[in-house]
Chains A and B, each alone.
Chain A
Amino acid sequence: MTLLSFDWALVIEKLILIVIIVLTTLLITLYTTFGERKVAAILQDRPGPNRAGPFGLLQPLADGLKLIMKEEIIPTSASKWLFILGPGLAMTASLMTSAVIPWGTDVHLFGRTIALQVADINIGILYIFAVVSMGVYGIMIGGWASNNKFSLMSALRAASQAISYEIAMGLALIALLMTTGSLSLKTIVADQAAGNWWNVVYQPLGFIIFFICAMAECNRTPFDLPEAENELNFGYHQEYSSMKLGFYLFAEYVNMIMSSAIMASMYFGGYDLPFFDETTVAPNIAAVIGVGTLLIKIVLFVFLFMWIRWTIPRFRYDQLMNLGWKTMIPLALFNMLLTGALILAKL
């Protein structure tokens, strides 16, 4: 009887890591909503939330409490199970990405070497791509199950937008993979940290394409057509209330943080602190520095997302499709050809 004979310490180690990553992500998300409102306020020259606690720091807790205390309403004509499944799927898909992100170098604790990455699979980037393509189901199922024509229109918009921009995103990724020669995020980050240039130097056009597509996949303004309130009332989450609505809103912020982490890892060196040799300090301190560096990069990217949101107005739907199919895809194809030609020329 050799059932369940595997390294239990590894299982416990990974479980603790997953719990820490998920809790930290949710905590950061909580304060990203606060950050969003503060950034908006600064850009619009007004004080922003400043009543709850010092500098309004308790505002996210008050918001969360308000959402939880609201009445749960499930419309009678809604498809009940799918209505509940929608927000759960949106949240799960956005959190699943964190599994392959390397958060730092290895930590040595209690005589064990602990990798700060939940799963180092050799298809890491494809896994992220798969999870991204799953993300649209939360919106589609929720929008359809609400049995509201505005929600349905919004769900269809979200689906076509996500599919259109996934193509350009995939093509941008292919060009990156051609330069790195590996699909494992751990290898990609380790190569950049080993003293080479960051990948953004080799793939500037690829990064811009990836960034725009990531913004479209996160449904952020100027790409937030699925929740265009002046045409669709409130979009796919119109019938939702209480914490189910909260899950949809939260999932958007988690998506934003995760895509920032992915962009930082793939194009901006991940946990690599520039002009600093990590081998000169103890491994555990290097790991802490690495995690801190990655978090700072994530915060900078999230700020960039917010900056763009409060600067550029929303596209029209045909403009969105034109940008996706007639600009992004040809540009990504050109980038791929250019990368291939440069790799050939170097040989």
Chain B
Amino acid sequence: MSIIQVLFFALSAFAIGSAIMVLVSKNPIHSVLWLILVFFAISGHYILLNAQFLAIVNIIVYAGAIMVLFLFVIMLINVKKDSEPQKQFLVKLLGVVAGGSFLTLLVALVKQTAQIQGRNLLMKDGVIGLIHPLGKALFNEYVVPFEISSVLFLSAMVGAVIIGKK
């Protein structure tokens, strides 16, 4: 096993373990904190795929900004452990069955996808995740959707300021 494989399996175990803890934790704050760890593990995977830009943006946007807002809201509404409605056993069982079926479906679909079959994962290789090729692709091939989405973000930000001014 090379060092990359060791890192891959360690990160995967870390990601899956943290994801399970998100579901199992009784306290919503703990769930959010475990979710942050999941994002860190996924960023580690991006780095293994040589996609440094994606990795760091994942941390800035998801772990750094969106999760802070999650924490913020949960802390503000102050969810208590005992005031949460407890679900019946039958409902929980149905949830497990439905979720398990959906997981099986997803795995089966991904396994049958023609683009994935017979291809190897490129580890520590490829340049598309680095910032220069990514910028070139965004501003040459995908310039219109990129610009439209950035105008959307700008208008959201200006909108927040306008609402704040009222």
Mark A residues whose CB is within 8 Å of B: 2-6, 79, 82, 121-123, 126-127, 129-130, 133-134, 136-137, 140-141, 144, 152, 155-156, 159-160, 162-163, 166-167, 183, 321, 325-326, 329-330
Contacts and interface: CB of A to CB of B under 8 A. Distances in A.
B1 to A, nearest CB: 6
Interface residues of B, number: 30
10 contacts: A3-B6, A122-B131, A123-B131, A126-B57, A126-B60, A127-B56, A133-B60, A134-B59, A137-B36, A325-B160
B68 interface: yes
Contact of A129 (B60, B68, B71, B130): B60
Contact of B68 (A4, A159, A167, A329): A159
Interface of B is mostly: helix
A325 B130 CA distance: 32
Nearest to A149: B78
Contacts of A136: 68
Contacts, number: 78
Interface of A is mostly: helix
Interface string B1-37: 1110010000000000000000000010100010010
B134 to A, nearest CB: 11
Most buried by A among B2, B36, B56, B131: B56
Nearest to A171: B157
B52 A123 contact: yes
Interface of B: 1-3, 6, 27, 29, 33, 36, 52-53, 56-57, 59-60, 63-65, 68-69, 71-72, 75-76, 130-131, 157, 160-161, 164-165
Given A130-B56, A130-B60, A163 B68 contact: yes
Most buried by A among B52, B68, B75: B68
B42 to A, nearest CB: 14
A121 B52 CA distance: 9
Contacts of A123: 52-53, 56, 131
A140 B68 contact: yes
A79 B130 CA distance: 41
Contacts of B52: 121-123
Contacts of B2: 2-3
Contacts of B56: 123, 126-127, 129-130
A5 B3 CA distance: 8
A285 to B, nearest CB: 34
